[in-house]
Amino acid sequence: MNKDIKEVVKEKYSLIANQSKEQNESSCCGSTGCCDTIDYAVFAEDYTSEEGYSKDADLGLGCGLPTSFAGIEKGNSVLDLGSGAGNDCFVARAQVGEKGKVTGLDFTDDMISKAIANNEKLGYTNVEFIKGDIEKMPLEDNQFDVVVSNCVLNLVPDKDLAFTEIHRVLADGGHFCISDVVIEGELPEKIKSDAEMYAGCVSGAIKKAEYLKIIEDKGFKNIVIHAEKEIEIPNTIMLNYMTMDELRQYKKDKIGIYSITVNAQK
């Protein structure tokens, strides 16, 4: 099952890699058509004012600004998980400077190719992109000061394994800062499929409490949520599956899909 999920994700992001930001923002999954009636841009944060921002690398796929809260310092070694076209890597490069290093990891060939092409245009010699699976990274132990990731781990089937790997590759005292999608409360079954499609096809998103528990169980400490926002599912969709009174109760109970940016230390 996990292999099937990975193949779907790989196929989806291969298509996205060959589209413009505008095309990707017009639907939650780009041209794959899983939810092309709803605007995905509600997820994305505005990177344009960030130092190191590269328009060519911005595909509008993030759900936060992890580099803004990551505490990246000059000379750090930074790993970006699910690096895509390199957007967060190039922002991190501005933060680590000439003496630091940034590595982007992605398992989609087309994304790696796009990121390498973008990096060649920028001329950075201390940024590299490598192909690899977050659940089994082709990286040595204890080598990164900071790990960042933006709206990617929700797509990873085995989050226990993903955070085990993050802990392994981080240096002692290192930390991560991750923006991701989580669920709060119990989504009603009758709207769950639409909600999943709307939220970037996040059938892999798990409950916020479960997500934080995995982080804690892997031995991380000083867990802090820096930012959190609800992903609004349009009422027009919600009312296809519930009455107005049920919708009011749903909103009152704070049930829904959220993006969070969380930081924790090894």
Which CATH number belongs to the domain containing residue 259 in this structure?
3.40.50.150
Sheet containing strand 221-231, edge to edge, reads 127-131, 101-106, 77-81, 144-150, 170-184, 256-265, 221-231
Q: Could you tell me if 162 and 136 are in contact, meaning their C-beta atoms sit under 8 angstroms apart?
A: no
What parts of the chain have a pLDDT lower than 50?
Answer: 1-3, 17, 20, 22-42, 198-201
The DSSP call for residue 35 is S
The count of structural domains within the chain is 1
Q: Which residues contact 121 (CB under 8 A, 6 or more apart)?
A: 56
Range of the domain at 149: 2-265
Q: What is the pLDDT of residue 75?
A: 98
Report the pLDDT value the prediction gives residue 30, as an integer from 0 to 100: 38
Residue with tokens 């989609």: 108
What kind and span of H or E run contains 95? helix 87-96
The residue among 177, 176, 171, 187 whose CA lies nearest residue 258 is: 187
13 token code pair: 């992001």
DSSP structural state of residue 206:
-
pLDDT at 10: 56
Q: How far is residue 62's CA from residue 40's CA, in Å, rounded to a whole number? A: 10
Question: Residue holding tokens 């982007």?
Answer: 104
pLDDT of residue 17: 47
Indicate the residue type of 87: N
CB atoms within 10 A of CB 36: 15
* Residue pLDDT, tens place only, 158-174: 999 999 999 999 999 99
Inter-axis angle of helices 109-122 and 2-17, to 10 degrees? 40
User: In this structure, what are the phi and psi dihedrals at residue 254, rounded to the nearest 5 degrees?
Assistant: 60, 35
Strand partners, 78: 102, 146
pTM, entire model: 0.83
